[in-house]
Chains A and B, each alone.
Chain A
């Protein structure tokens, strides 16, 4: 049985703590479902397409039953043709609809790069803003259980290189709902990066329809010694590491970027002004990725704030191995982050 079940069941129901007054704790998965449900109810232009979106599983529960609620025209299964389906969704967006196209593995998005990169991302600019492409492409990554090199990739870093695209990577249930709603109402193409290991994460989520601005990060934990900038699932690993480091009297500030295109630069510089030490952790490969871009930004604009060299905690530049032994060597977690922080504090 793949990570879609076993590995996820093994995850603890990590609770995102915040100071919200409203208390309705739901999972990341349910938050995504709710965002889709409420968006479809609010706006008849929204529709969902993708492999298996109308099957009984409903993309790990995130689209489950929506086909019955909104009809087969608005929630439908597709042929296995990721590139053209991306183009078809783009065409529908150009004609005024708001498609949500779903890849149950982020690896499959790579097949669609022609339509995503050459067409959807450029169609507005190339024609002087005469048309919009309000497209959302949901992608789900994960890790573990021998999924290997083609069922585990997190290529969001690669996509940061594409002008015209926006990229959201929520780590909490609150953000999963709010950012998905923002992505759907946005008039630009958005890649919405989900991580399967976040699906059981719990947190406060208002039942109302709300949006979160792109390019606005969040401090998930305040600290003074080291700044950890984390993306997607690595936010959870960073929070776990920070908790453990507290017992060593090391105070870690954890920043969740929430969207990686655009990036909230100021939140990073403000934290660095306090700590002077930076660790960046992302679910993707190290070279040319999200962490590389943040290194470049800090090098260009906030070099004077650094007291120590920056450390990147990312997957090594190796295709994901299937062996559980090699997987353990490949993936970074709270332990790796913990050790890097200890090193940095020496």
Chain B
């Protein structure tokens, strides 16, 4: 069981992710965020539950849907919002946009817009860690769609062979764009691939932040102790459409009943009620946490909107490094 401080921290992280993304959603209509966005609303527990156990110097790699991991790992929110506004002050200097977030200060080494593309990269940083003899762990986040790619299988095989300190976090939200997992996989058992690669694999409730935290903690210490990789399949659900702020429920993409069920399983609402039930959170603390988050959001959007845009002369910067 986590100490009270960490229990509150999990709530604070999830609530930050939710509120930042809701603000992005609100602002998107003004067309100043000129980059494709992929929201994680509904999936906050996965990033929070994993990253709470990572050290600052541990590495993570994300996907096109990476806001949640970036925030959970402690990425600079001002720089993330500035990146969404494609400003010079953005975490990727306006070269990446929402799908390519980085903050090397806290081990966020980038996110890819190619499905499954980050899995080898995270396996590679874990290889480096082993060769460099340090105790860093890498967490790679990807969706159920990435499991379709060869990189998933090739990387798990290699990581197991070399006993690398990496944890593979599959955020199974059931959809790859609009393609349901049942159209792509014979069975609903991604975690079982781990068996074939001779590593532990678990399928857990990805909306239960305590369960995510428990399994992630185990996997991270396993990696840190040199015992090798772990695959954790977190069952969760994406509230919004694949891209942008669209709500595609009831338009033939997703059934209303399915959506309603998952909204009723909101990871944050459940956890807030839980914390209140065990008297760790009360309205007063909740209010102060939310005020703090609101302030961060206000500051971040203000910073982003007031930051300079790149100039045409900057086009060739960063293609090559010296």
Which residues of A are interface residues toward B (Cβ below 8 A)?
47, 73-74, 78-79, 81, 83-97, 114-115, 118-119, 123-132, 163-164, 166, 187-188
Known: A128-B92, A130-B92. A79 touches B157 (CB 8 A): yes
Minimum CB distance partner of A112 in chain B: B120
Question: Given the complex, which residues of A lie within 8 Å of B158, measured CB to CB?
Answer: 78-79, 81, 84-85, 88
Question: Given the complex, which residues of B lie within 8 Å of A97, measured CB to CB?
Answer: 128, 131-132
Can you name 12 A-B residue pairings with CB atoms under 8 Å?
A: A73-B130, A81-B158, A87-B120, A88-B121, A88-B127, A91-B127, A92-B125, A94-B109, A95-B132, A114-B151, A125-B318, A163-B319
Q: A83 contacts B96, CB within 8 Å?
A: no
Q: A126 contacts B95, CB within 8 Å?
A: yes
Q: B128 contacts A83, CB within 8 Å?
A: no
Q: A91 contacts B114, CB within 8 Å?
A: no
One of A91, A96, A164, A187 near B120 (C-beta < 8 A): A91
Question: Given the complex, which residues of B lie within 8 Å of A93, measured CB to CB?
Answer: 124
B69 contacts A by Cβ under 8 Å: no
Question: Given the complex, which residues of B lie within 8 Å of A130, measured CB to CB?
Answer: 91-92, 102, 104
Q: A91 contacts B157, CB within 8 Å?
A: no
B282 contacts A by Cβ under 8 Å: no
B159 to chain A minimum Cβ distance, whole angstroms, is: 9
Q: B317 contacts A91, CB within 8 Å?
A: no
Question: Given the complex, which residues of B lie within 8 Å of A129, measured CB to CB?
Answer: 93, 317-318, 321
Q: State the 3 A-B residue pairs at the shortest beta-carbon distance, nearest first.
A: A91-B124, A87-B120, A128-B93
Q: Mark B113-124, 1 if CB is under 8 A from A, else 0.
A: 010010111111
Q: Given A79-B157, A92-B128, A127-B93, list of 7 further CB < 8 A pairs? A: A81-B154, A87-B123, A88-B120, A90-B121, A92-B127, A118-B114, A124-B320
Question: Given the complex, which residues of A lie within 8 Å of B120, measured CB to CB?
Answer: 83-88, 90-91, 115
Question: Given the complex, which residues of A lie within 8 Å of B93, measured CB to CB?
Answer: 127-129
Question: Given the complex, which residues of B lie within 8 Å of A86, measured CB to CB?
Answer: 120
A92 to chain B minimum Cβ distance, whole angstroms, is: 4
Q: How extensive is the interface on chain B, given as a class? A: 35 or more
Question: Given the complex, which residues of B lie within 8 Å of A125, measured CB to CB?
Answer: 95, 318-319
B134 to chain A minimum Cβ distance, whole angstroms, is: 10
Question: Given the complex, which residues of A lie within 8 Å of B319, measured CB to CB?
Answer: 124-125, 163-164
Question: Given the complex, which residues of A lie within 8 Å of B102, measured CB to CB?
Answer: 127-128, 130-131
Most buried by B among A90, A94, A97, A163: A94
Q: A151–B125 Cα gap in the complex (Å)?
A: 31
Q: A127–B96 Cα gap in the complex (Å)?
A: 6
Minimum CB distance partner of A189 in chain B: B320
Known: A127-B100, A129-B317. A87 touches B121 (CB 8 A): yes
B47 contacts A by Cβ under 8 Å: no
B204 to chain A minimum Cβ distance, whole angstroms, is: 26
Known: A94-B125, A114-B117, A164-B320. A128 touches B150 (CB 8 A): no
Minimum CB distance partner of B122 in chain A: A91
Question: Given the complex, which residues of B lie within 8 Å of A118, measured CB to CB?
Answer: 112, 114, 117
Question: Given the complex, which residues of B lie within 8 Å of A114, measured CB to CB?
Answer: 114, 117, 151
Q: Mark B126-156, 1 if CB is under 8 A from A, else 0.
A: 1111111000000000000000001100110
B161 contacts A by Cβ under 8 Å: yes
Q: A126 contacts B110, CB within 8 Å?
A: yes
Q: A97–B127 Cα gap in the complex (Å)?
A: 10
Question: Given the complex, which residues of A lie within 8 Å of B104, measured CB to CB?
Answer: 130-131
Q: A127–B108 Cα gap in the complex (Å)?
A: 11
Q: A47–B130 Cα gap in the complex (Å)?
A: 13
Question: Given the complex, which residues of A lie within 8 Å of B95, measured CB to CB?
Answer: 125-128
Question: Given the complex, which residues of A lie within 8 Å of B100, measured CB to CB?
Answer: 126-127
B90 contacts A by Cβ under 8 Å: yes
B322 contacts A by Cβ under 8 Å: yes
Q: A74–B150 Cα gap in the complex (Å)?
A: 26
Q: A85–B161 Cα gap in the complex (Å)?
A: 13
Q: A119 contacts B114, CB within 8 Å?
A: yes
Q: A66–B136 Cα gap in the complex (Å)?
A: 28
Most buried by B among A118, A119, A166: A119
